[in-house]
Amino acid sequence: METVNLAQKLSLFSDHWHPRIVGELNGQQVKIVKVQGEFVWHRHADEDELFLVLRGRLTIQFRDGDFLLREGEFLIVPRGVEHRPVAEEEAHVLLMEPASTRNTGDVGGERTVEEPERL
């Protein structure tokens, strides 16, 4: 067992849209990611995904409207629902999702991180 300090783990990297694994339980992974700018539209066929904002603001765009998340707020994106995360300024986000989840979902492409590292 290990106490995980989120701020300390976030201090270990500075790149954007590159999630790192900081915990695993019950087949799920806890990841942290720094984001800025626009990601790609994608969906996860079989995985619900939780976004909890630790710092800054994160917009999750959907085809029928947007959700703005502030620090201390989370949103669960159900499986199959197309979405795109966007952040005007850098934001720090905690993710909870199954270990099978790929960051770019069904879309893939150059922004895919196939095997996120563990911090």
What residues make contact with a copy of itself under the rule CB under 8 A?
A: 1-7, 23-28, 30, 47-50, 54, 62, 67-70, 72-78, 81, 96-98
Q: State the minimum distance, in angstroms, from the CB of residue 119 to a copy of itself.
A: 13
Here the tokens at position 58 are: 């994160």
Q: State the minimum distance, in angstroms, from the CB of residue 6 to a copy of itself.
A: 5
**Cα gap 78→68, rounded to integer Å:** 17
Q: Cβ closer to a copy of itself: 7 or 112? A: 7
Q: Cβ closer to a copy of itself: 43 or 111? A: 43
Q: State the minimum distance, in angstroms, from the CB of residue 23 to a copy of itself.
A: 5
Sign of CA pseudo-dihedral 42, 48, 54, 56:
positive
Here the tokens at position 103 are: 């960051």
Q: State the minimum distance, in angstroms, from the CB of residue 33 to a copy of itself.
A: 16
- Burial annotation 28-64 (CB, 10 A radius, 16+ → b, else e): bbbbbbbbeeebbbbbbeebbbebbbbbbbbebbeee
Q: Cβ closer to a copy of itself: 82 or 111? A: 82
Q: Cβ closer to a copy of itself: 41 or 74? A: 74
8 A C-beta contact, residue 20 and residue 9: yes
